[in-house]
Amino acid sequence: MNALAGSCPACAEPVGLGDRFCEACGTPLLRKGSTSAEAATKDVVRKCPACGAVSGTATEYCDECGLRLPDPADRTTIDLGALAGVSDRGLVHHRNEDAIALGRLLDGTTAAVVCDGVSTTRQPERAARAASEAALAVLLGVDAPVEPVARVRAAVEAAGTAVATLDGSNPSPDGPSCTLVAAYVAGGEVTVGWVGDSRAYWLAGPDGRLLTRDHSWAAEVVAEGLMDEAAAFADRRAHTITRWLGPDTRPDPDVVSVPHDGAGTLLVCSDGLWNEVPEAGRIGEFAAGAGDGATPLAVANRLTEVALAAGGRDNISVVVIPLEGVQV
């Protein structure tokens, strides 16, 4: 057994740091949830809300009246107590191409992944779901590198492989693709890796800040000093991403790791939130609007509703992780 992390919640036997199961009774010590898992457990009866006809599970539209049928992934809610996530279709897109996956070990090791399907590719939601599942499995797995930066890089590599192999050995260039942001919290340290323009924020009152830098046309011309931020984000090319996970790309993540000394909230999200509210300070204000002592789920719901009220022009995914004693 590894160094002690506590006791099994089922049988009270001691359990070690990093243990996934109790050695005495077999109780799982890892709590997790994901878009894929949530969608699989929901009712798959495709009853049309307009005409009442029941269609097959393979169709997206009502066989009788042609109305788009509700999809189990239109809204995913995952509440693990210490962290929570929401993924919502939004008000404009006809399906949710985002996916989230999050988990926590008994010793407090925590991980979260948000992926955003690239809508110009075929079935991008498949990429988002496969990537988020694969990345979380590595982040909280037993065989991944111990060092956090190496672990996050391994998680992104696994996500890239999962996406690249979705369509077998002869993938199409326009096959499923997605962005990814992954957060790993262990030993009082926060490590974030990303590919594309999904983001991570540190929210600590007025001192909130963005932890990631978009892999996008706008972010890169600003970084190179070719335009100021206002001009770059006003350009029609602003949100064109420059890195992603897809059938014809190798993962090229940026990774940051920061030590602890303080308290705040780690937020990982897709552009469905930050397109509506880009400033870290404003996001922090809206998060605080959930009220004193609000649960992570209440904060996640609050931020999702803010994005919907602002127009909900894209899929919206947020994962909220309050961290005591952590300053990034």
C-alpha distance from residue 134 to each of 36, 97, 130, 143, 239 (Å): 11, 17, 6, 13, 26
**Gap between the Cα atoms of 223 and 151, Å rounded:** 27
Task: Supply the range of the domain harboring residue 272.
Answer: 75-323
CA neighbours closer than 13 Å in the CB half-sphere of residue 291: 6
pLDDT at res. 122? 92
**Gap between the Cα atoms of 299 and 45, Å rounded:** 31
pLDDT at res. 9? 76
Please report whether residue 37 resides in a domain. no
Please report whether residue 114 resides in a domain. yes
C-alpha distance from residue 311 to each of 240, 275, 305, 307, 314 (Å): 21, 10, 10, 7, 9
With cut-offs at 50, 70 and 90, classify the pLDDT of residue 42.
Answer: low
**Gap between the Cα atoms of 301 and 48, Å rounded:** 27
Please report whether residue 118 resides in a domain. yes
With cut-offs at 50, 70 and 90, classify the pLDDT of residue 246.
Answer: very high
Please report whether residue 56 resides in a domain. no
Instruction: Judge contact between 207 and 188, C-beta under 8 A.
Output: no
**For residue 306, is pLDDT > 60?**
yes
**Gap between the Cα atoms of 269 and 217, Å rounded:** 19
Domains of the chain: total: 1
Mean pLDDT, all residues of the chain:
90
Is 59 strand, coil or helix?
coil
Please report whether residue 43 resides in a domain. no
Instruction: Judge contact between 112 and 199, C-beta under 8 A.
Output: no
Most confident of 43-52, 126-135, 169-178: 126-135
- CATH number of the domain that residue 319 is part of: 3.60.40.10
Least confident of 13-17, 94-98, 120-124, 135-139: 13-17
pLDDT at res. 43? 56
**Gap between the Cα atoms of 88 and 275, Å rounded:** 15
With cut-offs at 50, 70 and 90, classify the pLDDT of residue 28.
Answer: confident
Please report whether residue 52 resides in a domain. no
Q: Which residues pair with 320 in a beta bridge?
A: 84, 267
Please report whether residue 5 resides in a domain. no
Query: Percent of the chain having pLDDT more than 70?
Result: 94
**What single string gives the DSSP state of each residue in 203-244?**
EBTBT-EE-----BHHHHHHHTTSS-HHHHHHSTTTT-BS--
Taking alpha carbons only, the member of 42, 246, 35, 247 closest to residue 129 is 35
Per-residue model confidence as pLDDT tens digits over 90-129:
999 989 999 999 999 988 999 999 999 999 999 999 999 9
Per-residue model confidence as pLDDT tens digits over 168-225:
888 888 899 999 999 999 988 999 999 999 999 999 877 789 999 999 999 999 999 9
Predicted TM-score of the model (pTM)? 0.90
Taking alpha carbons only, the member of 211, 231, 212 closest to residue 221 is 231
**Gap between the Cα atoms of 219 and 314, Å rounded:** 20
pLDDT at res. 258? 85
pLDDT at res. 15? 81
Please report whether residue 36 resides in a domain. no
Per-residue model confidence as pLDDT tens digits over 258-289:
876 678 999 999 999 999 998 999 999 999 99
Torsion of CA 56, 59, 62, 64, to 10 degrees: -70
